[in-house]
Structure 1
Amino acid sequence: MVGPSVTLDKIPRLDTTNCSVDIDLIEIAKNNNETRSAAVAFMSYNTMENLLKPDFFNTSTDTIKTMMSTVISVTLLKTTNTKLTKPVNFTLKHIREFDPDGSLSCVYWNISEWIVDGCSVLKTNSSYTVCSCVHLSTFALIMQTSRPSESDSKLDVLNLVCVIVGLVFFSLALLTFALCQWSPGVNNVARINLCVSLLLAHLLFLLTQQFLSLIRRHQVLCAVISGVLHFLFLSGFVWMFIEAVLLFICVKNLSQISSKRKGVLRSGFLCVIGYTVALVVVAVSAGVNPKGYGSEQCWIKMDKGFNWSFQGPVCVILAVSTFLIMTLY
């Protein structure tokens, strides 16, 4: 609130948890000749999007509409002349994952629907969007994305079938390596754990995709699942690397590797390496960017380069494995 006795040169930005507003309240007060005062109320409703749903935003094209911000309201109180001297800017933090291919709209509530009249997007990035409006009302940020085509549905079915077939063969391979020890000198620890890691990873992936709509409602659960998937897939690559090293030593020495004779290759030691490396990478990644887990597909997020927490170690493993193959050649 400002009045005749206020000597502010600039009204400070009004902030809530997920949004802020810049309004020229001083100039508005000057236009009120009688009182020379003005007051603004800025409110943020954390769950209002459950009532004023993005589906109330009518568009000419059939798209998927997602509420990207909390619903806010701005109104002038104790002000006789409510005409704005210049547009009001709102900075809205994204409460859901940003899709670079989506279309953002700054909207306001008009009786029974969301409309865009008088509002526009000034700038945006993966974290927040700045909206500019020439009037005050109840506002929100809505993103439109294209609906998946029929071909995407067929691809999902194909993906489901392939994962199920893969699980069957992972199980058969695991039984083979665990039960069919054709030579006591052969160390199958790496192969068994490789199958275990990939079997669990693909099983969790399959269950997550089948119940994605339910899991996505619980952001913490979605983030935990993405972290576990990160660990399992990464440990699969680590075990692949360990198997490559064992194969390299086997061929280099022209003899079979025996975990009993080689203390450095004991099963327990290999298990510590196979799972600890992946666990350390996931722990460091979560510590550096705890919000990097829990995308729309319950996987690691692609923004801010967080995807390199998985792609980086994988590239290193593949590069070293390729070097071992070249050395064998």
Structure 2
Amino acid sequence: MRRGLLLILGFSFSLMTDLALSQCKVGFQSTGEGCIDVDECLPGERPICGQNGNCSNTNGSYMCICHQGYRMKSSNDLFSSEPCSDIKECLENKTMCGPHTRCIDTPGSHSCTCNSGFVPSNEKQPFLASDGVTCKDVDECLADSLICGKGGDCNNTEGSYKCVCNTGFSNYGIALAKCDELTCNNFAPEASPDQIPAKLDKALSLMRNACNALSNSHGPDGGQPDGEILLERLLLIIEQLLSAGPLNKNSAVSTFLKVVEDALRLIAPLLHKKSTRRSYNHTEVEILVERGQLAPKGEISLSSAHAHLDTHWETAAGDTAYPGFAAASLLTHKGLESSTNDSFQRLKEDHKHKGIRFSMNSKVVTVSVSNLNTTNLQKPVNFTFSHLVSTDENHSCVYWDARSAGGGWSTEGCEVVRSNANETECSCTHLSSFAVLMAMYELEDNFHLEVITWVGLSVSQLCLLLCVLTFLYCHSIQGTRNTIHLHLCVCLFIANLIFLAGISSTQNKVGCAVVAGLLHFFFLAAFCWMCLEGVQLYRMVVLVFNTTLRPLYMMAAGYGVPAIIVSVSAAIHPGGYGTDKHCWLLLKDGFIWSFFGPVCVIIMVNAFFFMITVWKLVDKFSSLNPDLTNLRKIKVFTVTAVAQLCVLGTMWIFGCFLFEETTNRPLEYIFTFLNSLQGTLLFVMHCLFSKQVRDEYGKLLSRCKSQKKKYSEFSSNQSSNSQAKSAQHTGESRI
């Protein structure tokens, strides 16, 4: 037992000795001989002081020493695992680089550069603040004598410069921009102000005043016009102009579109915002403006409810000297398509478009950029137009060409990229005003209509010729009504003859105008003679004595009135005679009403006289009037006169729509049928229905038969005598 206790005591003593030896201080480790220092700086998987510091071992510890330009956030650098962080010299000492400089922090250091408009004294960048380098001003005016352009003077300022523009030049309030020459002559008053609407002249005056004010402002603080206000006023004028109705001349459309394009080019640089959008009932515009020392690059997208434009800033800025800004505008005209829906002359002159009828199927848009040279773009611009009418018809991309005949649509430089029922995408190599046309191929099966026209009018002409001969040589019906019928038939005969020979002869413009003028005159004359018949019937019923009309008065009314109307019409609108498709009156500008207006008046006057005549006839038939025979004749005359007025009047009701661009076949057939019916109807009513004329025809036929009989007897006798003489001669010869 004693041995066991000794063993336990020895084990306990040994254990206590080991524990005493193992309790070394931090930074030391135990060995068999005691505690020794631990070297924490020995290479390991991860440096204890990080990448930006060095480790230094000490007795029982270590020290992290940061590289130059780095430090620890805490002040304790012993036993710290915190990495060394970069010192932000530029934040801690913002003036360390000196005036007119920019300090740039770099890992473990910094660098200094001079601000724009300054250069370092040692002409080397970057530099350190400790190098003793300073930044001095650059005199840009000496470095580049044309820095402000040919129309401006350069004033040097500390770190920059300022351009002061001469009269007639402007940099639109951008001090560092070159002075561009202003083209205020673009807004000069029109040589013929009566040829353009008053509102358009107001727009010219507005932009002319703004341009002159800009021309006289000699610097960025010289009182330039406010771009936003100027844009609002311009759009208000355009709104008033388009809401007043279609522009009545292509030249007015050309002037309007040019004013809008030039105005947007002038206004855009005056706008303060980079993007401006305005929308009204008749206009919608989006304008983008970029300013800066370097020309902008990249794509541009402008859009409205009816169109979308894709182009590039390089196109807007141009290849010439960059003035310090670039602008692009897209303006949609809501309603201008009605003013340009008949301006297809150039398209129709092109053989490629022969047999095609065009119609507007998009809104008209105007594109304006700050670049003045947009006639031949290196990068084409793309437009996407929404159709006014969804249709699968072919579509053409067109622009407004103001160079010929006052202006009109042309496909030159534009082509269709894609098209469906709802929209068309166009690509064009120039900028102007654009739209999409619906191209409808005309029907080629005109043979049946031409046959009906020629056969029907030939029959009508034959009947009219018979009427003229009857009224000339039938003595039993001579009188005032006969004279009226004679001249009515002569007018219709000549008018139909001209219609057959020249209605489609549009190749010669002068000849076509003459044909249209003659048709205008003779058809009006026919209506005037019908009106005279109504007046004559009224006089026959109402007046008891002196019911005849003097021939001089009838000639003055029948031919003088149409001559005056045609002369005045030709003097007011010389180009109103002859269209692209027919030798007839121009439908545009309301010129067609120089025919339909008088016709409507004549029909109403005639109807008035007929109603009074019928009323008087009914009144006299209801009374015990002894002259019933004469009244019955007048009744028949009235019925025939009303019938012929109905036929000729109804024919021209359909004729109102016959020469429209959207003429359809049913109207053409109805007009042709009624036109062919005129001569036949007049012959039947005034000749075949008249007992006196029938009697004259009977006498004429009987004379022809008797003459034929006499001729036959005479021929027979002559033949007998000849045979006898022949026999006699034969006998003599034989003797």
Query: 1:269-280 counterparts in 2 under 5 A?
Result: 269-280=553-564
- Asked if 1:197 is matched to 2:472, the reply is no
Partners of 1:177 and 1:318 in 2: CA distance: 24
Match of 2:578 in 1: 294
CA deviation digits over 1:175-227, x for unaligned, max 9? 11111121555552211111111110000000014xx3xx3122222112111
1:188 maps to a residue whose letter is N
Within the candidate set 485, 489, 514, 1:224 is matched to 514
Match of 1:323 in 2: 608
Within the candidate set 88, 99, 115, 2:415 is matched to 115
Match of 1:285 in 2: 569
CA deviation digits over 1:282-318, x for unaligned, max 9? 1222222222211221101222222211111111111
1:168 maps to a residue whose letter is L
TM-score w.r.t. length of structure 2: 0.31
SS at match of 2:412: strand
SS at match of 2:502: helix
1:177 maps to a residue whose letter is F
Structure of greater relative contact order (alpha carbons < 8 Å, 6+ residues apart):
1
Match of 2:337 in 1: none
SS at match of 2:582: coil
SS at match of 1:136: coil
Question: Percent of pairs identical after alignment?
Answer: 27
- Asked if 1:145 is matched to 2:440, the reply is yes
| Cα distance change, pair 279–250 in 1 and its aligned pair in 2 (3 A) | same
Partners of 2:404 and 2:521 in 1: CA distance: 26
- Asked if 1:157 is matched to 2:469, the reply is no
Partners of 2:411 and 2:433 in 1: CA distance: 6
Whether the 8 Å CA contact 1:106–1:116 is kept in 2: the answer is no
Whether the 8 Å CA contact 1:187–1:257 is kept in 2: the answer is no
Partners of 2:401 and 2:480 in 1: CA distance: 60
CA deviation digits over 1:245-302, x for unaligned, max 9? 11221222357845xxxxxx22133112211100111122222222221122110122
- Asked if 1:234 is matched to 2:524, the reply is yes
Partners of 1:190 and 1:301 in 2: CA distance: 30
Match of 2:535 in 1: 245
| Cα distance change, pair 161–85 in 1 and its aligned pair in 2 (3 A) | closer
SS at match of 1:91: strand
CA deviation digits over 1:3-26, x for unaligned, max 9? 933525665659xx9768658699
Superposed displacement of residue 326, structure 1? 1.2
Match of 2:551 in 1: 267
SS at match of 1:188: helix
2:150 maps to a residue whose letter is S
Partners of 2:440 and 2:533 in 1: CA distance: 44
- Asked if 1:64 is matched to 2:356, the reply is yes
Match of 1:309 in 2: 594
| Cα distance change, pair 136–320 in 1 and its aligned pair in 2 (3 A) | closer
Whether the 8 Å CA contact 2:506–2:512 is kept in 1: the answer is yes
| Cα distance change, pair 230–82 in 1 and its aligned pair in 2 (3 A) | same
Partners of 1:243 and 1:186 in 2: CA distance: 9
Q: Which stretches in structure 2 are left out of the alignment for 5+ residues?
A: 1-147, 152-168, 173-181, 188-249, 270-312, 324-345, 359-371, 384-397, 419-425, 615-735
Partners of 2:448 and 2:320 in 1: CA distance: 68
Superposed displacement of residue 93, structure 1? 4.8
1:291 maps to a residue whose letter is G
- Asked if 1:172 is matched to 2:466, the reply is yes
Whether the 8 Å CA contact 2:399–2:432 is kept in 1: the answer is no
| Cα distance change, pair 137–191 in 1 and its aligned pair in 2 (3 A) | same
Partners of 1:136 and 1:94 in 2: CA distance: 15
Partners of 1:85 and 1:108 in 2: CA distance: 14
1:287 maps to a residue whose letter is A
2:443 maps to a residue whose letter is P
Whether the 8 Å CA contact 2:415–2:428 is kept in 1: the answer is no
1:153 maps to a residue whose letter is F
Match of 2:400 in 1: 91
1:205 maps to a residue whose letter is F
Whether the 8 Å CA contact 1:28–1:82 is kept in 2: the answer is no
Query: 1:75-86 counterparts in 2 under 5 A?
Result: 76=373
- Asked if 1:4 is matched to 2:149, the reply is yes
Superposed displacement of residue 107, structure 1? 2.8
Larger Rg: 2
1:286 maps to a residue whose letter is A
Query: 1:12-27 counterparts in 2 under 5 A?
Result: 22=261
Match of 2:650 in 1: none
Superposed displacement of residue 169, structure 1? 0.7
Match of 2:708 in 1: none
Partners of 1:229 and 1:283 in 2: CA distance: 13
2:610 maps to a residue whose letter is I
| Cα distance change, pair 244–93 in 1 and its aligned pair in 2 (3 A) | farther
| Cα distance change, pair 273–156 in 1 and its aligned pair in 2 (3 A) | same
2:612 maps to a residue whose letter is T
Q: Which stretches in structure 1 are left out of the alignment for 5+ residues?
A: 38-48, 67-74, 99-103, 119-131, 259-264
| Cα distance change, pair 278–94 in 1 and its aligned pair in 2 (3 A) | farther
Cα RMSD of the aligned pairs, angstroms, is 4.7
2:527 maps to a residue whose letter is F
Superposed displacement of residue 133, structure 1? 6.6
- Asked if 1:208 is matched to 2:505, the reply is no
